[in-house]
Amino acid sequence: MSDYKTTVGIEVHAELKTKTKIFSNSINGYGTTANSNVNVIDLGYPGTLPTLNEEVVNQAIKAALVLNCEINKNMHFDRKNYFYPDNPKNYQITQARTPIGVNGYVEIDLGDRKKKIRIHDIHIEEDTCKSIHHNNHSLLDFNRAGVPLVEIVTEADMNSSEEAVLYLEKLRELLLYADISDCKIEEGSMRCDCNVSISKTEKLGTKTEVKNIGSISNVGVAIEKEVARQKELLEKGETFHEETRRFDDKTNQTILMRVKETGNDYRYFPEPDIPFVRLTDEMIERVKKTIPMLAEERRTNYLNRGISLLNANKIIQNRNLSDYLNKFLDTDINLVIASNLLLGDIQFYLNKHNTTIDKTKLTDDKFIDIVKKLDEGKINNKVFKDIIDDIMEKDTTVDEIISEKGIKIISDPNAILEVIRDILAKNEASVKDYKAGNTRASKFLMGQIMKETKGSLSPEIVNKLLIEELDK
């Protein structure tokens, strides 16, 4: 049995982060009381007309830029006509003929090589309202009606579930870091539809579309299940129609929603209520300048400063920590220590207290001070663990906190030597053992020193000085 080649194309709908909706001045907000962010325009009330939110256009330009698209400088909107209860006007305003961006790509890292997933187009459209089915009734929440979306359509360039997952992770990272969308799949602000087909020849097989997938990792599962299902059918010699399926995360199966009718007819035509929008080079330049440092550049910067790839990726997964760390990119503090602190004790503290770094009393100066003290061995990790609560909660300086806690910081090498000599004098037997070649004796001496100083000294420095002293 020769192998089938898997082909996947993905459509992602991402809700744009804006203050107001795309065609009205209702608030664009998630999680508010049903039908509270609604006006006559969102309801598709007779006589209403759309206005165009400039913020939406700017966000979409930004998205087109980070996806390396060519920008359609003379774009318009189109009406997509279809009847559905969640579609207030029974047409959706979208872009069919002049999508804001075309011919872009997203580069994914396959480990041994990089691959460009081509973006066919990215277009702007309005979200529908949300239907809630309750006791044999359908309820409609118009809060979502008119929320701005971009739809990002790839070419059928992915050949495995892994590639699809890598693409989506990368796309999410791009949209998140450019502040375009908050990309919360669970809240529906990022939605993925996958077109999957398999074939033994160059000619693509019959595709099915899988919708309603609740997480990026489930996209991988859904594609694998769909490939297996199609393979089984084809091996049995059966054919199947183009159809829309949904992914059920309880059974991990794709389930038939509807067979696609031939020639789905949306009767597209140019939206007459919105004139052509002309995007100038100046507008595009202006938007370009608002793009913050993206994940890829952050990763490179972190690696250059000695942070491991693992830790760099961990930091990047947490936008707040990454933004925080970036504040110190221009300083010469040890970013390895800084990143370890952020991923370790600081993140632990933040999780435990369910807060974010900007809400704590950890000022930039305090952070720099701590990293330096650790770097220079003036304090060690144990001391930091002892004082982190105060660091995060008090306005006082690191030095003040340390002295309040009664922690004696011995940073003068001579003072440390004094302690060492004192301990050596008290433990002559161990010193003899060491000199006799029992190197383990130094560990015992080390423990005694740390005990004496309540662990406030940097073990590395103490160890270095101790060995020097013993070897004299």
Partner 1 sequence: MTKYLDLSIQQINELLKKKEIKPIDLVNECFERIENSDSNSFITLNKEEAIKRAHELENKEVDNLLFGLPIAVKDNIVTKNLRTTCASKILENFIPIYDAEVVRKINEKNMIIIGKTNMDEFAMGSTSQTSYFGVPLNPWNKTRVPGGSSGGSASCVSNRLAFLSLGSDTGGSIRQPSSYCGIVGMKPTYGRVSRYGLIAFASSLDQIGPMTRNVYENALLLNAISGHDDKDLTSSYREVEDYTRMIGEDVKGMKIAIPNYLVSDIVSSEVKNKLMEIVELLREAGVTVDFIDIEYLDKAVTLYQIIAMGEASSNLARFDGIRYGYSVENPQSADELYMKTRQEGFGKEVKRRIMVGSYLLSGENAKIYYDKALRIRDDMRKAFKDAFKKYDLIIGPVSTTVAYSLGEGLDDPLKTFMDDVLVIPVNMAGFPGMSVPMGFNKEHMPIGLHIIGDDFEEALMYKLAAFIEKKLNLNLDPRGGK
Contacting positions for partner 1 (CB under 8 A)? 40, 43-52, 79, 81, 83-85, 88-91, 138, 140, 263, 265, 267-270, 272-275
In the complex with partner 1, which residue's Cβ is closer, 275 or 413?
Answer: 275
Name the one residue in this structure whose structure tokens are 């450019």.
Answer: 178
Report which DSSP code applies to 76.
Answer: -
Beta carbon of residue 340, minimum distance to partner 1 (angstroms, whole number): 54
Take residue 383 and report the two structure tokens written for it: 């001391």
In the complex with partner 1, which residue's Cβ is closer, 79 or 172?
Answer: 79
Beta carbon of residue 101, minimum distance to partner 1 (angstroms, whole number): 22
Take residue 223 and report the two structure tokens written for it: 């594609």
Phi-psi region of 29 (alpha: psi -120 to 50; beta: other; left: phi over 0): beta
Q: What separation in angstroms does the CA of 74 have from each of 182, 275, 434, 444, 472?
A: 28, 10, 82, 77, 81
Contact by Cβ (8 Å): 164, 117: no
Beta carbon of residue 79, minimum distance to partner 1 (angstroms, whole number): 5
Q: What separation in angstroms does the CA of 21 have from each of 46, 126, 455?
A: 19, 8, 57
Beta carbon of residue 81, minimum distance to partner 1 (angstroms, whole number): 5
Beta carbon of residue 262, minimum distance to partner 1 (angstroms, whole number): 11
- For helices 440-452 and 459-470, the axis angle rounded to 10 degrees is 130
DSSP secondary structure, 34-56, as one string:
TT-S--TTTTT-TT------HHH
> Count of residues for the chain?
472
In the complex with partner 1, which residue's Cβ is closer, 48 or 215?
Answer: 48
Report which DSSP code applies to 27.
Answer: B
In the complex with partner 1, which residue's Cβ is closer, 88 or 104?
Answer: 88
Question: How would you label 4-23 residue by residue, b for 16+ Cβ within 10 Å and e otherwise?
Answer: bebbbbbbbbbbbbbebbbb
Cα-based torsion angle of the residue sequence 347, 350, 351, 355 in order, rounded to the nearest 10 degrees: -140
Candidates 98, 41, 94; CA nearest to 70 is: 98
DSSP secondary structure, 249-290, as one string:
TTTTEEEEEEEPPTT-----EE-TTS--EEPPHHHHHHHHHT
Take residue 376 and report the two structure tokens written for it: 């220079």
In the complex with partner 1, which residue's Cβ is closer, 81 or 381?
Answer: 81
Beta carbon of residue 131, minimum distance to partner 1 (angstroms, whole number): 10
Beta carbon of residue 273, minimum distance to partner 1 (angstroms, whole number): 5
Beta carbon of residue 41, minimum distance to partner 1 (angstroms, whole number): 9
Beta carbon of residue 271, minimum distance to partner 1 (angstroms, whole number): 8
In the complex with partner 1, which residue's Cβ is closer, 49 or 310?
Answer: 49
In the complex with partner 1, which residue's Cβ is closer, 67 or 140?
Answer: 140
In the complex with partner 1, which residue's Cβ is closer, 262 or 414?
Answer: 262
- For helices 161-177 and 54-66, the axis angle rounded to 10 degrees is 130
Phi, psi of 124 (to 5 degrees): -95, 140
Beta carbon of residue 88, minimum distance to partner 1 (angstroms, whole number): 7
Sheet with 269-270, side-by-side order of all strands = 91-94, 78-81, 269-270
- Three-state DSSP at 150 gives strand
Beta carbon of residue 54, minimum distance to partner 1 (angstroms, whole number): 12
Candidates 188, 181, 182, 214; CA nearest to 132 is: 188
In the complex with partner 1, which residue's Cβ is closer, 45 or 348?
Answer: 45
In the complex with partner 1, which residue's Cβ is closer, 43 or 221?
Answer: 43
In the complex with partner 1, which residue's Cβ is closer, 257 or 274?
Answer: 274
